[in-house]
Amino acid sequence: MLASLSHRWLVAPLVAASLLAACDKQDENKGTPRPALTVTAASPVTETWPVRIPANGTIEAWQEAVVGSDVQGLRLAKVLADTGDAVKAGQVLAVFDDEPVKIEVAQAKAALAQAQAAAEQALENAERARSLRGSGAMSDQLITQYLSAEQSAHAQVAAAKATLAAQQLRLTRTRVLAPDDGVISARIATVGAVFGLGGELFRLIRQGRLEWRAELTDAELEHVHPGAKALLTLADGRSVEGSVRVVAPTLNTRTRTGLAYVDLPPDTLIRPGMFVRGEFDIGQRPAITVPSQAVTMHEAFNYVFRLEPDGSVRQLKVTTGRRIGDRVEILDGLAADSRIASAGAGFLNDGDLVRVIDE
């Protein structure tokens, strides 16, 4: 019994010492802060980046010609072109019934022949009157009548020739011709219809040329000049490059925007009326860039985490600019010689301790 009690008295101090040592170790661990996250480090890089101005606008025809009827009161006999057809200058697009005009041409020719015969008779009478002038064989009054008849006959011949020319011109205009190379954008012509003079038959995109009419503010227009390149992004993700042809000299008084007219290459997937987004390339300038994963957003502001010497991070609000690929331009808020957290930055808070791995 006494031996058992003495053994307990010997073991108790050892257990107490062990518990005290464990508590001291826990207190020591509590005093040593541990890193919250492992991150990669990155430094800002100065690069030369293109300067682009974004814009929106619609695709329109460069010039749209209206092909109308040059004859009146005739029935349309044939329609030889339809919407979407590519045509050449001088190509026949439609034909009017020319039988009534052919009859009028024949009548005009007959009237001309009659006028010429009358003119020949008047010329003979006038020549005879001139030869008898002063002889007394013919009165002065009759001589004057023959000479006047000659002039009238010549005038009638000229009028008959003009009438014939007008009818022949009308006959040629029964064939409706394309005024230029291009693409038919609209067809109003219908077989059997009777159109008035100047009635619209077709609309033609001249030379098939399309343009992007981009809307820009007055400040943006100052940087866009003829010859500048524009890159358009279509709905299917394809890119189309164009060139600025002209910049509008005036602004819309309601929207306070102006138009830049961009010539586009032929492309079957570009159609008038499309709404397209694009960018104007106006040159290059240096840019301080960081990886896009290093920039976080909170409450509509952009931030980066600067690595501090003590292993912590400090949250800095920055102003961002252009984005190309996986890098972002920093306009303000970050020194060029700073080291920042890159991968893993989205999980950090201001003041967190981190373990750093250099990229």
pLDDT digits (tens, 9 = 90+) for 230-280: 999 888 888 899 999 999 999 988 989 999 999 998 876 788 999 999 999
Tokens 């866009």 identify what position? Answer: 224
Pairing status of strand 45-61 against strand 210-217? antiparallel
pLDDT in tens, 38-75: 888 888 988 988 888 899 999 999 999 999 999 988 99
Percent of the chain with pLDDT over 90: 47
Look-up of token digits 């009438």: 163
pLDDT at 49: 87
Outline where 265-324 has alpha helix (H). none
| pLDDT tens figures, 176-228 | 999 999 999 999 999 999 999 889 999 999 999 999 999 999 889 988 999 99
pLDDT for 336-346, tens place per residue? 888 888 888 88
Contact between 210 and 61 (Cβ < 8 Å):
yes
- SS3 call for 345: helix
Domain boundaries, the chain: 37-48+286-358, 54-62+209-284, 63-97+174-208, 98-173
pLDDT score for 81: 95
For residues 170-206, one letter each, b for 16 or more C-beta atoms within 10 angstroms of the residue's C-beta and e for the rest, the string is bbebbbbbbbbbbbbbbbebeeeeebeeebebbbbbb
CATH of 37-48+286-358, one of 3.40.50.850, 2.30.30.90, 2.40.420.20, 1.10.1740.10: 2.40.420.20
- Looking at residue 15, its pLDDT comes to 38
Cα atoms found within 13 Å of the Cα of residue 255, Cβ hemisphere only: 9
* Angle made by CA atoms 335, 338, 343, in degrees to the nearest 5: 125
The architecture CATH gives domain 63-97+174-208: Beta Barrel (2.40)
**pLDDT tens per residue across span 283-335:** 888 889 999 888 998 888 999 999 888 888 899 899 998 888 889 998 998 88
Order of strands, edge to edge, in the sheet holding 64-68? 64-68, 200-206, 182-187, 86-87
pLDDT tens profile 85-134: 999 999 999 999 999 999 999 999 999 999 999 888 888 888 877 777 76
- pLDDT at res. 34: 66
Q: With bands split at pLDDT 50, 70 and 90, how would you rate the model's confidence at 14?
A: very low
Using an 8 Å Cβ cutoff, are 11 and 311 in contact? no
pLDDT band at 32; cut points 50, 70, 90? low
User: In the CATH scheme, what is the homologous superfamily, with its name and number, of domain 54-62+209-284?
Assistant: Efflux pump adaptor protein, beta barrel domain (2.40.30.170)
- C-alpha pair distances (Å), 234 with each of 63, 279, 351: 22, 12, 45
Q: For residue 31, give every residue at least 6 positions away whose Cβ sits within 8 Å of its Cβ, in sequence order, or none.
A: none
Class of domain 98-173: mainly alpha
